[in-house]
Amino acid sequence: MQLYNTLSAIERAALIEEAGKERLTISFYTYAHIGNTNIFRNHLFINWNEMDVLGRIYVAHEGINAQLSVPAENFNVFKEHLDSISFLENVRLNIAIEQDNLSFLKLKVKVRNKIVADGLEDNSFDVTNKGIHVGAEQFNELIEDPDTVLVDMRNHYESEIGHFKNAITPDVDTFRDSLDIIERDLADHKKDKKLVMYCTGGIRCEKASAYYKHKGFEQVYQLEGGIIEYTRQVENNNLENKFKGKNFVFDHRRGERISDDVIANCHQCGEPCDEHVNCANEACHLLFIQCKSCAEKMNNCCSDKCKEVHELPFEEQKALRKGKVVSNKIFKKGRSEVLKFKK
């Protein structure tokens, strides 16, 4: 029985291109009690692999967090399967604003301790005592209220390319870091200010809102469905769009444009730009913002040193990497001394 991928990303991309069929990029999450996470993980993989679903799915005892791509022609079958699972019936699906058939190239269903790495001890507070969910129209009204403090719960490299006007955008590398910063900065306003939060799809705000209520904040709100659902409601209901720039996404697209504003700059030359790339040197893989001119000049690398390595024969590059630990822990997103124009 197949429980893991057998095709490489390159092989999968070729098959998708050859098929020429439209795919939908979707995300969803829910908090629920899952007893045997391994059995549930295998159940999802077996069924979704048959539907040609691709993506990154985290399963934990506390629930599921999924970002995936499904063939448009299989969407109804996929939805029926979700509805057959009691805690996923009628779960809200965030449909991507900008579609890309190559947004995901492998199906990865992983068992984790948590569906979001928040660094919190959940036993210390009631995670179900969440903030008030608001849609786009009420959110627009709230953020114009002088008694509102609007907080972006995403990381620095996400908010750098797009955020709501007047939002506090903590310069943090992790979700956990922002929790303490916000609590400290707003310590004197737990009763008199409305704390309004947003993130990409809503999942980070679920836990954050409960955490801040536990910490004594009395007026806590969160944007229902995050930036993705906000954009859909703005378009469908002809509302004013108060988000500027791009929404960073965690797939091969790296971002989807919400407004025409370009609020970031190339990290190498300083020109206006909001295109995230990964350094072409596989031993580096740094995430940073690079314009087309610098991409051509630097051969898609973040520094002259990486450029030199990337231009070596492939076998020499492999030899240089041999014995070195390569993991996401050493891939610093958007932070490096070589990035002269990082804000």
Pick the closest to residue 286 from 300, 296, 270 (CA basis). 300
Q: Is the dihedral of CA 178, 181, 183, 186 positive or negative?
A: negative
Kindly name the residue from 199, 284, 291, 306 that is annotated as catalytic: 199
**Residues contacting 288, CB < 8 A, separation 6+:** 267, 268, 276, 277, 279, 302, 334, 336, 339, 342
Pick the closest to residue 115 from 222, 32, 215 (CA basis). 32
The three-state DSSP-derived secondary structure of the chain is: CCCCCCCCHHHHHHHHHHHCCCEEEEEEEEECCCCCHHHHHHHHHHHHHHCCCEEEEEEECCEEEEEEEEEHHHHHHHHHHHHCCHHHCCCCCEECCCCCCCCCCCEEEEECCCCCCCCCCHHHCCCCCCCEEECHHHHHHHCCCCCEEEEECCCHHHHCCEEECCCECCCCCCHHHHHHHHHHHCHHHCCCCEEEEECCCCHHHHHHHHHHHHCCCCCEEEECCHHHHHHHHHHHHCCCCCEEEEEECCCCCCEEECCCCCCCECCCCCCECCCEEECCCCCCCCEEECCHHHHHHCCCCCCHHHHHHHCCCHHHHHHHHCCCCCCHHHCCCCCCCCCCCCC
266 given a catalytic annotation? no
Q: What are the residue numbers of the active site? A: 199
